[in-house]
Amino acid sequence: MAYNFNEIEQKWQRIWKENKTYHVTEDDSKEKYYVLNMFPYPSGAGLHVGHPLGYIASDIFARFKRLNGYNVLNPMGYDAYGLPAEQYAIQTGQHPAITTEQNINRYREQLDKIGFCFDWDREIRTCDANYYHWTQWTFIQMFNSYYDNDKKCSRPISELIEKLSNEGSKNINAACTKEIDVTAEEWNSLSEVAKQELLMNWRIAFLNETMVNWCPELGTVLANDEVVDGVSERGGFPVIQKKMKQWCLRVSAYAQRLLDGLDRIDWTDSLKETQRNWIGRSEGAEMQFRIKDSDIEFTIFTTRADTIFGVTFMVLAPESELVARLTTTEQKNAVEEYLDRTKKRTERERMIDRNVTGVFTGSYAINPITGEEIPVWVSDYVLSGYGTGAIMAVPAHDSRDYAFAKHFGIEIRPLIEGCDVSEESFDAKEGIMTNSPVAKFADCKLNLNGLTVKDAIAKTKSYISENKLGRVKVNFRLRDAIFSRQRYWGEPFPIYYKDGVPYPIPEECLPLQLPEVEKFLPTETGEPPLGHAKMWAWDEQNKCIVSKDTVDNKSIFPLELNTMPGFAGSSAYYLRYMDPKNDKALVSTEADNYWQNVDLYVGGTEHATGHLIYSRFWNMFLHDIGVSVKEEPFQKLVNQGMIQGRSNFVYRIKDTNTFVSLNLSKNYDVTPLHVDVNIVSNDILDIDAFRAWRPEYANAEFILENDKYICGWAVEKMSKSMFNVVNPDTIVEKYGADTLRLYEMFLGPVEQSKPWDTNGIDGCHRFLRKLWGMFFDKNDNYILTDEEPTKEELKSLHKLIKKTTEDIPAFSYNTTVSAFMICLNELTALKCNKKSIFEQVVVTLSPFAPHICEELWEIMGHNTTICDAEWPLFNEEYLKEDTIKYTISFNGKARFNLEFAADATNAEIESTVLADENSQKYIDGKPIKKVIIVPKKIVNVVI
RNA sequence: GCGCGUGUGGCGAAAUUGGUAGACGCGCCAGACUUAGGAUCUGGUGUUUUGCGACGUGUAGGUUCGAGUCCUAUCACGCGCACCA
């Protein structure tokens, strides 16, 4: 009987679907295990072979855990809101909901063919109103919360309001946009509008006028992680800086917790490091500098408080409001001209052009320690968004300050003994302090001379806090997330505006459904696309959506026109899978308590500073308000590598229609041309298919080697234009899903990026065919017997069980596949036909190749699915050797082998080796210094 | 510039705490069965040497009885952050 994979795979996929084999429910009698893949954005191009890599890896893990008795949640869904569908809608008028639906159906069809054990009853789509109900709900909770720095968690804004009205802001230690000082009397006398405006300063979800990354081509703002090298991540359009009023999420309040949490989760070091980088914690000090002949004081941030004696100038960011106040009349023109010039430069231009620019304000600051007068400059190398937007410049020990000082001829004063600053600054935080202070300030109270840099920093910090010159401060690079998008295809904000002040719509009125619009473009007045929606106003009294035309009625107000960004829907979807149909809560307490958090999360590393930060923040917030039981959403994370394309080339002799095979091509003047990889097999071109591929090749001539046309190849990104896209469907059709699954795992470590290369796929397919063949004789008769297996057969089996049991949890799938091949080779050599052996082989193989294993399981007479089998335990007894071969080496060289009984003692081995004739030859009368016996491996005689 | 990671046959890759480097697969070579084979099966396959052997994990050192693995330096490639004070 031939291995008819197409028939077998369709049969079992149908049975799994009909019987809901992979449907899970909460079950207290079993331990839970939650496996999750980053859900895909359903693009129009469909899946290519790279996409399923992570899904297969986690599917294997899910099946393995299930066989080990766990109740496994392995859901799948779609990140359905996104720019491509909307761009397509703008071009074609096709509603994004329709395109998205079509793409999802295509994805589903492709996914189904690979045989995943997803529980499709739990499918979610971020664009479903039942789903975004809870995205909107969470947003309202964020709007109604503030971050208490003392309790280190989010609290209801009502608590803050109570404090403000009772004691004012003096005892409030909360994350805020800027420090606000208000007494209880002042607060209580404020109007409702003024109070609401002030509260924005503390809310977790808040409106703020900020500099944003504006992408004119896309007509929307983008988050920092959506901008790469100054252009948009999607589309590659230029991005400029623009000031706009936007919804923001106070992610920065959670910076320390996001950092600390990394120590408690099982992610790769490199990914944690990337996040630490992005969060960018730096410990330092804030210091106040007074301006000479003025009562103006300003604050700078530095991590090098020890270099205070080397400050020879100060720099303000061009955007700093201090610039105007510090500019003297003489310098006014020069400064304004400079500000004009920098404003015109985009972020990208500033990044490319790093020429030193700057202008003197005319003011002098006073060094708080020495009293020295220091000129204050303006330069765009200082960023307004980090620290205080002002720095003390120490050219001797900071390369940027150094470049500035050299350019403008400012003094460079070295502070480290023996450092040479004639060519470049000495940035390292090491060495012994000198010139701190220089002789002319020798009578000042602080003296750092002779201290190490580390001690000097500590001493300066305590000096400035004791003398109230500043304070110790921790700064983060992590910024608040900008949460508004001027787009149609996203979650609407559940917000309406009364007197220009935003209010959330009542929770019982959620979801606020995305309205229909005539056009997906901005309106003539520059409003976002939702400005076109007619039914888009809120009736406060009747609690319902009404037409915009009725806004002048006293209880009817305009609704927010922005929509939420892509990461809104993907930030808590793992919670929703636990209880996807719940219409009373995001997730029920029971489901949340049972499933807790994701045990294993699999996805690409490209989300390191986007989704994986946002969802950790989002989950921490939900944890604070009692919705999510765990603080960290993803306990273990595995990054699957990217699968690159492997392009093939043909070589056309210039000005002809003749193509020459790879190894002969160097003899001709040729042009390499991409050729569709689907008409190339093992780098051999299918000539007929090539002639049929394009009309201009119909009459192509070929110069062959060994009667074959060999193509060249290169590793490139998988894309349509390189003709190297391999569709999983074509592989499934040709080899079957089981072969595809096995081969993707066999290709190399899951975490590693690698080119897709079908050259080895036959090996995996051959393995499955061989396994199938073991069950039948030449006449297709089933030949397995119930006889007792031999010792060798059991040994081979248990080696396999041991290897798979240990390697699957370690994600070492490529070696696991090898282990199956080794085991099968051994069983073939032993001519094994024992049912009890193959039963267990098939169970261990079933996570990798579920369809064939189900079929063989059935053929062996089982009437339950193999998913309900039990993972076999290995027995060390079978693995024990009677005798062990030792390699005898002399000074680590010249070896031969001796066999000993497995239970021989070291003393026995030693005496036997020393008495051995062969050994005598090597020892040759030389004195023996020692004999080293490595258990089960080696005896090394040191002479 | 700073941080992280990776370098092993013709190719994808294995290698427990330092313990016979190259498992397994591809490819290649030879043989068997075949009218035929891009089918199947068997054997071989790091380099060098007729052979014994010698040499081999980017390069150069070091520690060790013994190093792909540990240490130092260096080169190459990949990734992340990047006027973050």
Closest CA to A260 of A277, A271, A276: A276
Q: From CA A278, how far away is CA A611, in angstroms rounded?
A: 13
Round and report the angstrom distance from CA (A695) to C1' (B24).
44
pLDDT tens digits, one per residue of A12-44:
999 999 999 999 999 999 999 999 999 999 988
Protein residue closest via CA to C1' of B18: A934
Query: In terms of C-beta density within 10 A (0-12 exposed, 13-18 middle, 19 or more buried), how is residue A709 classed?
Result: buried
Task: Indicate the pLDDT class of residue A348, thresholds 50, 70 and 90.
Answer: low
Which range is least confidently modeled, A351-355, A477-481, A828-832, A932-936?
A351-355
Determine the pLDDT at residue A254: 96
pLDDT tens digits, one per residue of A145-199:
999 999 999 999 999 999 999 999 999 999 999 888 999 999 999 999 999 999 9
Task: Answer whether A792's CB lies under 8 Å from A830's CB.
Answer: yes
Task: Answer whether A556's CB lies under 8 Å from A536's CB.
Answer: no
Determine the pLDDT at residue A347: 60
Protein residue closest via CA to C1' of B53: A894
Is pLDDT at A1 greater than 80 in this prediction?
A: no
Angle between helices A850-859 and A5-19 (to 10 degrees): 90
> Phi and psi at residue A854, in whole multiples of 5°?
-60, -45
Across residues A50-58, what is the average pLDDT? Answer: 92
Round and report the angstrom distance from CA (A888) to C1' (B53).
18
Torsion sign over Cα A170, A175, A178, A184: negative
pLDDT tens digits, one per residue of A516-526:
998 898 888 88
In degrees, rounded to 5, the angle at the alpha carbon of residue A537 between the alpha carbons of residues A534 and A540 is: 155
User: Residue holding tokens 């306990």?
Assistant: A635
Before A511, cis peptide (omega within 30)? yes
Q: C1' nearest to CA of A389: which nucleotide?
A: B85
Is pLDDT at A493 greater than 70 in this prediction?
A: yes
Q: C1' nearest to CA of A478: which nucleotide?
A: B84
Helix (H) or strand (E) holding A899: strand A893-901
Across residues A190-216, what is the average pLDDT? Answer: 92
Determine the pLDDT at residue A894: 63
First to last CA, chain A: 63
Round and report the angstrom distance from CA (A893) to C1' (B49).
20
- Please list the residues that pair with A391 across neighbouring strands: A315
Is pLDDT at A498 greater than 80 in this prediction?
A: yes
Find the Cα–Cα–Cα–Cα dihedral A745, A751, A755, A758, rounded to 10°. Answer: 0
Is pLDDT at A839 greater than 90 in this prediction?
A: yes
pLDDT tens digits, one per residue of A249-275:
999 999 999 999 998 999 988 888 889
Across residues A201-214, what is the average pLDDT? Answer: 90
Return the SS3 of A314. Answer: strand
Task: Indicate the pLDDT class of residue A823, thresholds 50, 70 and 90.
Answer: very high
How many CB atoms within 10 Å of residue A326? Answer: 24
Distant-in-sequence contacts of A429-434, Cβ < 8 A, 24+ apart: A429/A304, A429/A453, A429/A454, A429/A457, A433/A306
Find the Cα–Cα–Cα–Cα dihedral A168, A177, A530, A615, rounded to 10°. Answer: -110
Which range is least confidently modeled, A144-158, A489-503, A908-922?
A908-922
Q: Which pair of tokens denotes residue A928? A: 């023996």
Angle between helices A835-845 and A791-807 (to 10 degrees): 10
Strand B: which positions are within 7 A of a protein CB? 3-5, 11-15, 19-20, 23-27, 38-42, 54, 65-67, 79-85
Determine the pLDDT at residue A352: 65
Reported in sequence order, the residue ranges of A170-306 that DSSP labels E, i.e. its strands, are 205-215, 220-222, 227-228, 231-232, 240-249, 282-291, 297-302
Round and report the angstrom distance from CA (A348) to C1' (B83).
13
Which range is least confidently modeled, A109-118, A425-434, A472-481?
A425-434
> Phi and psi at residue A120, in whole multiples of 5°?
-70, -15
Is pLDDT at A411 greater than 90 in this prediction?
A: yes
Round and report the angstrom distance from CA (A939) to C1' (B70).
22
- Please list the residues that pair with A470 across neighbouring strands: A287
Task: Indicate the pLDDT class of residue A492, thresholds 50, 70 and 90.
Answer: very high
Closest CA to A255 of A225, A273, A279: A279
Q: C1' nearest to CA of A891: which nucleotide?
A: B65
Protein residue closest via CA to C1' of B15: A815
Task: Indicate the pLDDT class of residue A834, thresholds 50, 70 and 90.
Answer: very high
**Maximum CA pair distance of chain A?**
112
Q: C1' nearest to CA of A936: which nucleotide?
A: B19
Round and report the angstrom distance from CA (A293) to C1' (B41).
98
Determine the pLDDT at residue A11: 96
Round and report the angstrom distance from CA (A808) to C1' (B67).
29
Q: Which pair of tokens denotes residue A785? A: 């017997």
Q: C1' nearest to CA of A354: which nucleotide?
A: B83
pLDDT tens digits, one per residue of A560-618:
999 999 999 999 999 999 999 999 999 999 999 999 999 999 998 889 899 999 999 99
* Buried/exposed code over A462-481 (b: 16+ C-beta within 10 A; e: otherwise): ebbeeeebbeebebbebbbb
The pLDDT mean for chain A works out to 90
Q: C1' nearest to CA of A894: which nucleotide?
A: B53
pLDDT tens digits, one per residue of A629-656:
999 999 999 998 888 887 778 888 888 9
Across residues A382-403, what is the average pLDDT? Answer: 90
Q: C1' nearest to CA of A278: which nucleotide?
A: B81
Q: Which pair of tokens denotes residue A907? A: 């003393």
pLDDT tens digits, one per residue of A883-903:
777 878 877 766 677 778 877
Q: From CA A67, how far away is CA A872, in angstroms rounded?
A: 9
Which DSSP category does A546 fall into? E
Q: Which pair of tokens denotes residue A302? A: 């530095």
Distant-in-sequence contacts of A622-626, Cβ < 8 A, 24+ apart: A622/A138, A622/A141, A622/A572, A622/A575, A622/A586, A624/A145, A624/A153, A624/A154, A624/A155, A625/A141, A625/A145, A625/A154
User: Residue holding tokens 């090491």?
Assistant: A430
Round and report the angstrom distance from CA (A703) to C1' (B10).
24
Q: From CA A254, how far away is CA A277, in angstroms rounded?
A: 15
Determine the pLDDT at residue A219: 83
Helix (H) or strand (E) holding A895: strand A893-901
Round and report the angstrom distance from CA (A933) to C1' (B65).
11
Q: C1' nearest to CA of A761: which nucleotide?
A: B26
Q: Give the per-residue SS3 of A338-402.
A: HHHHHHHCCHHHHHHCCCCCCEEEEEEEECCCCCCEEEEEECCCCCCCCCCCEEEECHHHCHHHH
Round and report the angstrom distance from CA (A663) to C1' (B29).
20
| Entry pTM | 0.92
Is pLDDT at A346 greater than 70 in this prediction?
A: no
Determine the pLDDT at residue A269: 83
Which range is least confidently modeled, A547-556, A636-645, A846-855?
A547-556
pLDDT tens digits, one per residue of A569-583:
999 999 999 999 999
Q: Checking phi first, is residue A160 left (phi over 0); if not, alpha (psi -120 to 50) or beta?
A: alpha
- In this prediction, what percent of chain A has a pLDDT beyond 70? 98
Which range is least confidently modeled, A122-136, A219-233, A767-781?
A219-233
Q: C1' nearest to CA of A224: which nucleotide?
A: B81
Q: C1' nearest to CA of A391: which nucleotide?
A: B85
Round and report the angstrom distance from CA (A943) to C1' (B65).
9
Is pLDDT at A683 greater than 80 in this prediction?
A: no
Round and report the angstrom distance from CA (A637) to C1' (B69).
26
